[in-house]
């Protein structure tokens, strides 16, 4: 199938303006005749719901939380990028565009990325107007700091709570529309299926997480703002409830899934402590502004540290290897996340890791405290240091933090065109749920930027173009057979899960899947391991459907049943991730195939054969998916070997 990305013609800097002028409009009196469903109320969902309701549309917003304020966007710590150039350090819209394209290892669309950089400046203005308490510098302007993959300071922040503060701003805007009645907020409700009639998205099937009731909801358009799929790895920085069910069920109804193997490993997370853990804790990338990453130069010193016979401060300066500064003198500790993560893995694989497990490196603030003083560091990172101390029981002002890479973000997601519409007309995907802006690796502080760009400044224009085309009469009632059939399928699936009554818990299956994914499709992959993983996942899937034990009943609060449905989807998605990683015979960004690397151990792309978006098309249960390719064209940047040296 030929994929039409709908990228506008014309100069890069004029594409979005020209496109907006060419979009069809819905007049204000007609907007109130259209119903829009939004699934997810994080930054993308809350901003989209508030913006569309403000325009006059009738919005139903769904969240499986008890409040939008609990959406996982609150967990983002370090900041949000924008090309304001307040620092006068050479930033611009084009430089943000270039850094994002380069950071994604030249596997993203130029048009989408430039639009993201262009509207970034508006996002900051909107959030300030909403009262988001960004940090300020001595002159009263908003402060900025650096993040990985950039040599300028363009990251706006509110200490280590930026995501939470931005979500509060969007939540206030959403709450205003809930009060006016333009948004109907439906909490503790999970989307379990997409209803497609005559090739168009017509609504969703949900389950009330309190009562277990299966319900149908109809609309003219459906927006999925449901985040990423990092929890396929079991251990990740995502909240435990974060899942891929809404996007995966939409995929099975015709929405193409793009680049699923592109997963981001975040370099600064608290290391795994033991088998009892169910998630990992992120330490903001902003810490790499002042923290220096190092390990001992010798295996002997590292072994003594692991045995508890030496401490970090016992290692003399000349016996420390500041390996990021050594290998990448231009960027130092601020190399992109994929580069920092792989290098941490390399030194630990050499036997120089410093935790009892051997899987950790140091992030040391001693030089920054000596240079700027403890109060300055407290002002920048105080809450992050407090969080670290509470979890690890170690004071990072006095001894270096221990960090190690962990699964964090997913660059893959539902395929969308320039309008954020999936391959199913009327179905849109925003924020991390889509694949569109980050290529093979996301730069730090760009997730919040994309979520708010999509919700505040893109979808309000583009959804109107579709609605104007179909007209307000083109809505299917919930008593249509397609809704009844979808409800029945969900009930049958729930009953099937409850009737198996096997011997293994859902959590055991999830953890087993996570080990397979991390070992064979994690920080590095190879053909042999991926083929082995595919077989293991297929065997795990068979065992799941014959031996899982799900307690309780369908028509009641049942978290075991919720989890079972999500893990069933993760198992299927995990197999597609392996297929995608296996077919892409190159290394790029977060996808590192060991067979394809430079002599210095860097990712080696194959631009001749793989400069495309892989968009997978579902063919039915236990059938191979069809690979569709959207060729990426680069007119404004030159494809070069990425270098941060």
Q: How confident is the model over 124-160, as pLDDT tens digits? A: 999 999 999 999 998 899 999 999 999 999 999 998 9
pLDDT surpassing 80 at residue 374: yes
Token reading at 279:
């998630």
Q: What is the rounded average pLDDT of the residues 34-42? A: 98
Q: How far apart are CA 172 and CA 165, in angstroms?
A: 11
Q: Would you call 455 helix, strand, or coil by DSSP?
A: helix
- Average pLDDT of the chain? 97
Q: Would you call 446 helix, strand, or coil by DSSP?
A: coil
Nearest to 302 by CA among 326, 278, 320, 277: 320
pLDDT of residue 318: 97
DSSP 434: B
Q: Residue 167 contacts by C-beta under 8 Å, 6 or more apart in sequence?
A: 42, 43, 46, 68, 69, 71, 73, 74
Q: Residue 565 contacts by C-beta under 8 Å, 6 or more apart in sequence?
A: 192, 245, 493, 494, 497
pLDDT surpassing 80 at residue 1: no
Instruction: Give the pLDDT band (50/70/90) at residue 274.
Output: confident
Q: Would you please indicate which residues are annotated as catalytic (active-site) residues?
A: 337
Q: Which residues in 355-381 are b (16+ Cβ under 10 Å) and which e?
A: beebbbbbbbbbebbeeeeeeebeebb
Up-side HSE of residue 272: CA atoms within 13 Å toward CB? 16
Q: How far apart are CA 244 and CA 570, in angstroms?
A: 7
Instruction: Give the pLDDT band (50/70/90) at residue 273.
Output: confident
**pLDDT tens-digit readout, 528-580:** 999 999 999 999 999 999 999 999 999 999 999 999 999 999 999 999 999 99
Instruction: Give the pLDDT band (50/70/90) at residue 373.
Output: very high
């Amino acid at each position: 199938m030929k994929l039409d990305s709908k990228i506008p013609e014309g100069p890069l800097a004029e594409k979005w303006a020209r496109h907006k002028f060419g979009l069809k409009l819905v007049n204000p009196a007609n907007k109130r005749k259209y119903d829009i469903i939004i699934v997810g109320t994080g930054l993308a969902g809350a901003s989209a719901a508030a913006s569309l309701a403000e325009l006059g549309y009738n919005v139903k917003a769904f969240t499986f939380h008890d409040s939008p304020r609990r959406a996982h966007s609150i967990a983002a710590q370090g900041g949000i990028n924008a090309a304001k150039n307040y620092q006068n350090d050479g930033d611009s819209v084009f430089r943000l565009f270039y850094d994002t394209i380069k950071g994604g290892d030249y596997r993203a669309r130029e048009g989408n990325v430039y639009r993201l950089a262009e509207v970034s400046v508006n996002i900051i203005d909107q959030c300030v107007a909403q009262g988001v308490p960004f940090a300020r510098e001595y002159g009263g302007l908003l402060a900025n700091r650096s993040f990985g993959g950039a040599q300028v300071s363009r990251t706006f922040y509110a200490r280590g709570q930026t995501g939470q503060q931005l979500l509060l701003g969007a939540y206030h805007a959403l709450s205003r529309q809930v009060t006016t009645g333009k948004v109907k907020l439906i909490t503790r409700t999970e989307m379990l299926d997409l209803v497609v009639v005559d090739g168009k998205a017509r609504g969703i099937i949900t389950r009330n997480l309190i009562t277990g009731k299966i319900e149908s909801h109809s609309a003219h358009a459906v927006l999925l703002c449901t985040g990423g799929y990092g929890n396929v790895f079991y251990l990740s920085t995502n909240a435990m409830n974060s899942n891929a069910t809404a996007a995966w069920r939409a995929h099975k109804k015709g929405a193409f899934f793009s680049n699923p193997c592109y997963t981001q490993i975040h370099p600064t997370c608290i290391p795994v402590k033991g088998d009892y853990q169910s998630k990992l804790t992120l330490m903001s990338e902003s810490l790499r502004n002042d923290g220096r990453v190092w390990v001992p130069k010798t295996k002997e010193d590292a072994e003594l540290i692991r045995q508890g016979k030496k401490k970090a401060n016992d290692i003399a300066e000349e016996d420390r290897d500041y390996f990021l500064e050594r290998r990448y003198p231009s960027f130092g500790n601020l190399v992109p996340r994929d580069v920092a993560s792989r290098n941490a893995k390399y030194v630990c694989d050499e036997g120089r890791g410093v935790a009892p497990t051997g899987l950790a490196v140091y992030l040391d603030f001693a030089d920054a405290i000596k240079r700027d003083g403890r109060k300055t560091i407290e002002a920048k990172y105080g809450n992050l240091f407090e969080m670290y101390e509470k979890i690890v029981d170690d004071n990072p002002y006095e001894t270096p933090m221990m960090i190690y890479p962990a699964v964090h973000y997913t660059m893959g997601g539902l395929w969308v065109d320039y309008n954020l519409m999936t391959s199913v007309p009327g179905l849109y995907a925003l924020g991390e749920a889509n694949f569109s802006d980050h290529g093979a690796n996301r730069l730090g502080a760009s997730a919040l930027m994309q979520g708010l760009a999509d919700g505040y400044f893109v979808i309000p224009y583009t959804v109107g173009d579709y609605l104007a085309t179909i007209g307000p009469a083109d809505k299917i009632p919930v008593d249509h057979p397609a809704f009844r059939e979808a409800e029945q399928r969900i009930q049958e699936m729930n009953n099937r899960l409850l009737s198996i009554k096997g011997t293994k818990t859902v959590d055991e299956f999830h953890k087993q899947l996570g080990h397979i994914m991390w070992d064979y499709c994690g920080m590095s992959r190879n053909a042999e391991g991926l083929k082995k993983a595919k077989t293991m996942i297929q065997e795990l899937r068979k065992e799941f459907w014959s031996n899982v034990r799900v307690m309780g009943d369908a028509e009641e609060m049942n978290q075991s049943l919720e989890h079972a449905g999500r893990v069933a989807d993760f198992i299927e998605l995990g197999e597609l991730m392996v297929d995608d990683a296996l077919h892409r015979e190159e290394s790029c960004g977060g996808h590192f195939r060991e067979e394809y690397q430079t002599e210095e151990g860097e990712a080696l792309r194959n631009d001749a054969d793989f400069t495309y978006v892989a968009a997978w098309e579902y063919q039915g249960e236990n059938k191979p998916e069809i690979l569709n390719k959207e060729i990426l064209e680069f007119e404004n940047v030159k494809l070069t070997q990425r270098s941060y040296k």
